[in-house]
Amino acid sequence: MNVIVIGGGTAGMVSSILLARRGCSVTLLERGERLGRKLSASGNGQGNVTNLGMGAEHYFSDDKEKVARALSRFGAEDTVRFLEEMGGIFLPDARGRVYPASRQASAVTDLLRAELSRLGVEVRLNARVSALSHDGDFHALCGGERVSAERAILAAGGKAAPNFGTDGSAFALAEGFGHTVVPCAPVLVQLRCDPSRVRGLKGIRVDAVLCVERKGRCIFRVRGDVLFTESGVSGDAVFRASSYAEAGDRLLLDFLPDVEEGRLRAALERNPGAEKLLCIVNNGLGRALRKQAADDAGLLRLIKAFPLEVKGTLGFPYAQATRGGIPLGETDENLQSLKRRGLFFAGEMLNVDGECGGYNLQWAFTSAHIAAEGALS
């Protein structure tokens, strides 16, 4: 059997490998100059490929049960086994996030690229597919050339981080077969906030508990790094919260989650001077908080529940993942299109996004495995 795989990211490379191992003739079409550019940048360049705390509860989708069934077919341990079979060593950190032992994301791309080459997969770079049609076979048009095959896998990513080749234009290839696209939004991204609140805080990084408050109710709570930026907040906790927060929500930051209010109040009373926050919070943060609070009670409120109104996100150019895409409801259990038999989907192109921590790459591995199995059946 011959198969066209469109998109040379994680999902496209992995499905090509699995198909080629089973004897298929695979042509992998990638619009950029290199394969796996986003994978090489993942996890701050360290490559957080999956998470041992895997489960559908870490995902957003129109069909979370299908995500759960998919993960049970190919989960975190399978990803580690798949990568280690090619020779690497992958280790979890204390939070279950799995990285290559070398902590180099680009080495994961190199591992996949070497396997593609060993298997003789035909890789075409600078090959942007502008049209995909079907007349018994699939025909992908790239440049002036037509590439044809019995089956096609669309693994062209979402809209996040368009500098890696994913501007969302590839959804049109699926729309041509009658698919719809759940409207896309950037996730795992910096949040924009009221600028007057963050003025003077730029560059300060704190360990805080962050609560996303909607209509007076905390809908998501997380502890981690918060980094103040020019226009809002970034950092690990904010990325995780960005999967839940919307414009109009309020973030409440507790800068001293391990200290209860009584102890903090007593410390503030003991020091009536201008330096009263020394050794309590970061000095820069302390200076800004003192300017915003009228008295000790106000200071205490700001330290334990610093409010930031969410104005939006920094957008797709700064996002790590895409909410939205091709609905799972328009695919069967093998991620085969319900509109056109023989067409499969894998990766971020589908309406599945995961929390920060290895869940999005795991979806790329899982869906690539399932689409490849489906294409073979």
Ligand X SMILES: Cc1cc2nc3c(=O)[nH]c(=O)nc-3n(C[C@H](O)[C@H](O)[C@H](O)COP(=O)(O)OP(=O)(O)OC[C@H]3O[C@@H](n4cnc5c(N)ncnc54)[C@H](O)[C@@H]3O)c2cc1C
- 12 lies in the binding site for ligand X (CB under 6 A): yes
**Cβ proximity of 357 and 243 under 8 Å:** no
Q: Phi, psi (5° rounding) for residue 350?
A: -80, 160
- 100 lies in the binding site for ligand X (CB under 6 A): no
The distance of closest approach from Cβ of residue 333 to ligand X in the complex, given in angstroms and rounded to an integer, is 19
Partner residues linked to 123 by β-bridges? 28
Give the span between the Cα atoms of 191 and 44, in whole angstroms. 18
Q: Which is nearer to ligand X, 213 or 236 (CB)?
A: 236
Neighbours of 124 (CB within 10 A): 18
Contacts with ligand X in 157-176 (CB under 6 A)?
157, 160-161, 164-166, 170
The distance of closest approach from Cβ of residue 2 to ligand X in the complex, given in angstroms and rounded to an integer, is 17
Write out the H or E segment, with its range, that includes residue 164. Answer: none
Q: Which residue among 361, 371, 372, 375 contacts ligand X (CB under 6 A)?
A: 361
Q: Which of 236, 356, 241, 257 is nearest to 310 (CA)?
A: 241
The distance of closest approach from Cβ of residue 361 to ligand X in the complex, given in angstroms and rounded to an integer, is 3
DSSP assignments along 249-276, one per residue:
-EEEEES-TTS-HHHHHHHHHH--STTT
Contacts with ligand X in 271-300 (CB under 6 A)?
none
Binding-residue pattern over the window 300 to 339 for ligand X, x denoting contact by CB under 6 A:
--------------------xx------------------
Which range in 42-50, 69-77, 272-280, 334-342 contacts ligand X by CB under 6 A? 42-50
The distance of closest approach from Cβ of residue 193 to ligand X in the complex, given in angstroms and rounded to an integer, is 22
Residue whose entry in the numeric block shows the structure tokens 């909607």: 214
The distance of closest approach from Cβ of residue 214 to ligand X in the complex, given in angstroms and rounded to an integer, is 26
Question: Exposed, middle or buried: residue 120 (CB in 10 Å: 0-12, 13-18, 19+)?
Answer: exposed
- 238 lies in the binding site for ligand X (CB under 6 A): no
Q: Which residue among 360, 369, 373, 374 contacts ligand X (CB under 6 A)?
A: 360
Q: How far is CA 358 from CA 39, 137, 161, in A?
A: 11, 36, 17
Q: Which is nearer to ligand X, 12 or 224 (CB)?
A: 12
- 201 lies in the binding site for ligand X (CB under 6 A): no
Q: Which is nearer to ligand X, 73 or 263 (CB)?
A: 73
Partner residues linked to 151 by β-bridges? 3
E-strand ranges in 62-159 read 90-92, 97-100, 122-124, 129-134, 138-142, 145-149, 151-154
Q: Which is nearer to ligand X, 133 or 292 (CB)?
A: 133
Q: Which is nearer to ligand X, 167 or 213 (CB)?
A: 167
149-178 burial, b at 16+ Cβ within 10 Å, e below that, comes to bebbbbbbbbbbbbebbbbbebbebbeebe
- 41 lies in the binding site for ligand X (CB under 6 A): yes
- 75 lies in the binding site for ligand X (CB under 6 A): no
| Binding-site size, ligand X (CB under 6 A) | 38
- 355 lies in the binding site for ligand X (CB under 6 A): no
Q: Which is nearer to ligand X, 129 or 206 (CB)?
A: 129
**Cβ proximity of 50 and 105 under 8 Å:** no
Q: Tell me which residues touch ligand X (CB under 6 A).
A: 6-12, 29-32, 37-39, 41-43, 48, 128-129, 155-157, 160-161, 164-166, 170, 320-321, 347-348, 358-361, 364
